[in-house]
Amino acid sequence: MTKRIITVVRRADVSPEEFRHIYLEHHAPIVARMPGLLRYKQNAVLAEVGHPDAEVSGIAEVWYADDAAFADAVEERVALAGEAA
C-alpha cells in the first residue's frame, strides 16, 4: 500500500471559512470518486503554530494499493478535466 500526503494552499481571495467549506463540501466528493482510492483523510490547518508564514491551508492524505494505482487515478482525473474544458 502507498500513501501520499498532499498540501493544499488557499487562494488569497478565498477566506479561511470559505476555504474550509470548499475543501469539505466540494473537494472531498471529487477525491472520493477517484478510481482505486482505498482511504482519504482531510486535515484542515486552523493555525500556523510556530510558522506564521506557512501557506498551507489543508493537508490531504490518500492511500492506494501501489504507486501505479495512484498514477492511474491521477492520469484519469487529468483526462476528465481536459474533456470538461
CATH topology of domain 2-84: Alpha-Beta Plaits (3.30.70)
Q: What is the pTM of this model?
A: 0.78
Give the pLDDT means over successive 10-residue stretches in the chain (85 positions).
93 91 90 93 78 80 96 82 56
Q: Which residue has the cell 500513501?
A: 3
* Grid cell locating 32: 472520493
Q: What are the structural domain ranges in the chain? A: 2-84
pLDDT value of position 49: 65
Nearest residue to 27 via CA among 71, 70, 58, 67? 58
